[in-house]
Amino acid sequence: MAASSCRHIVVVAGNHDSPSFLNAPKELLKALDVHVVGSSTASREDEVLVLRNEQDGPELIVCAVPYLRDRDIRVAEVGESVEEERKLIDGIRTHYAAVAALAEQKREELGADIPIVGTGHLFTAGGQTVDGDGVRELYVGSLAHVTAGIFPACFNYLALGHLHVPQKVNGSETIRYSGSPLPMGSGEAKQQKSVCEVEFHSTAASVQLIDVPVFQKLERVKGDWDGISNRILELSATDSQVWLEVIYDGTEVIGDLCERLEAAMFGTQIEILRIKNNRIIDRVLGKIHEEETLDDLNVNDVFERCLAVHDVPEDQRPELIRAYQETVSSLYEDDLQAE
């Protein structure tokens, strides 16, 4: 990228990234005009970048805000309730206000009428997701979604990450998720992927979507065995190189589904990436609700089902659920640090 026509590249961490892994080469990459912000630090200055043109004149200010971890934006208190967790939202708002104030100060000092671009990795209220795309809640509790109103008005454009579906936030042309450039699962197979090209005239932004070509076809095949095997025959007849997700939901219990699929695939260029045998899953789960499968349950749902199965009294469950959520969050962040 540094050898391309890009003058600057800004990399900010998401919730799946290891801050230490990203930050390790940041000083070396800075020499190539690749700016890395792997985590929030005590100094908000680290997140405010002044990008310069070939004549060394300032041309853009970037508030490079990475994924804000729970510990970056609030201090948990013993016995706090879900309502008190609203301080998460206040913490995010305060963080953005601080970096925006620094950006405006820098623009005033530079005496240049240049745009300010903000970044973020979070889940905004009303955001669209696709079934099976792997998008996960970011914070413990139910307050992961923030509104567009928390972002400072001085941002001439706000580039957001985390949601895979390209979309505007609250109908705004200048607050957008570009979406993932490649499908993250077969549920996104029919979705047109794109990237956002943002052009500034002074500080006014105009946005054009550039479609990303399909380099590898994906498809989800769902049904009983006859429907699945017939679709594989149709694809093999055209020498298709498609990648498949196979979901079996027929009434017959098929214990050798993998073996049957392997035989059906023999000699073809098709590859199966994922197999779901809903009939077997239903027997194992002893499903409670109609049409419910394991993929419909998150880690919190499974824990709550365990509490119900073991007849834990209702008045004891809220405290146990909070403790469990804190443990899961802590383990996830420890894994990222270990990377």
Residues 88-132 have pLDDT tens digits of: 888 889 999 999 999 999 999 999 899 999 999 988 876 666 665
Distance CA 251, CA 147 (A): 44
Q: Burial level of 103, CB count in 10 A (0-12/13-18/19+)? A: buried
26 and 136 inside one domain: yes
26 and 65 inside one domain: yes
Residue 211 and residue 245 in contact, taking contact as beta carbons nearer than 8 Å: no
* Sequence-ordered strand ranges (E) for the chain: 9-12, 34-37, 48-52, 58-63, 116-121, 123-124, 145-146, 157-161, 167-169, 172-177, 194-201, 204-211, 218-223, 243-248, 271-277
* Sequence-ordered strand ranges (E) for 4-107: 9-12, 34-37, 48-52, 58-63
Give the CATH number, domain containing residue 144: 3.60.21.10
pLDDT for residue 332 is more than 70: no
User: What is the per-residue pLDDT across 233-266, written as a single tens digit (0 to 9) for each?
Assistant: 999 999 999 999 999 988 887 878 999 999 999 9
* Sequence-ordered strand ranges (E) for 30-97: 34-37, 48-52, 58-63
206 and 222 inside one domain: no
| Across 274-297, average pLDDT | 62
Residue 197 and residue 188 in contact, taking contact as beta carbons nearer than 8 Å: no
Residue 60 and residue 110 in contact, taking contact as beta carbons nearer than 8 Å: no
Query: Is residue 4 domain-resident?
Result: no
Query: Is residue 2 domain-resident?
Result: no
Residue scoring higher pLDDT (309 or 64): 64
What is the span of the domain harbouring residue 177?
Answer: 9-211
Instruction: Enter the pTM of the model.
Output: 0.74
User: What is the per-residue pLDDT across 201-213, written as a single tens digit (0 to 9) for each?
Assistant: 999 999 999 999 9
168 and 251 inside one domain: no
81 and 120 inside one domain: yes
Distance CA 164, CA 36 (A): 22
- Block residue for tokens 């008190």: 84
Query: Is residue 1 domain-resident?
Result: no
283 and 245 inside one domain: yes
- Mean pLDDT estimate for the chain: 84
Of 121, 122, 104, the C-alpha closest to 113 is: 104
Distance CA 73, CA 89 (A): 9
pLDDT at residue 86, as a whole number: 73
13 and 152 inside one domain: yes
Distance CA 270, CA 243 (A): 6
205 and 235 inside one domain: no
166 and 222 inside one domain: no
Query: Is residue 80 domain-resident?
Result: yes
pLDDT for residue 315 is more than 70: yes
pLDDT at residue 152, as a whole number: 94
Query: Phi-psi bin for 203: left (phi > 0), alpha (psi -120 to 50), beta?
Result: alpha
Looking at the 3D structure of the chain, how many domains does it have?
A: 2
60 and 81 inside one domain: yes
Alpha-carbon distances of 197 from 14, 51, 177, 211, 248, rounded to whole Å: 21, 17, 12, 11, 41
Domain boundary at 159, 187, 211, which? 211
Stretch (H or E) spanning 304: helix 299-309
pLDDT at residue 81, as a whole number: 55
Domain boundary at 165, 186, 211, which? 211
Alpha-carbon distances of 183 from 165, 179, 337, rounded to whole Å: 9, 9, 27
Distance CA 93, CA 151 (A): 7
| Across 273-290, average pLDDT | 64
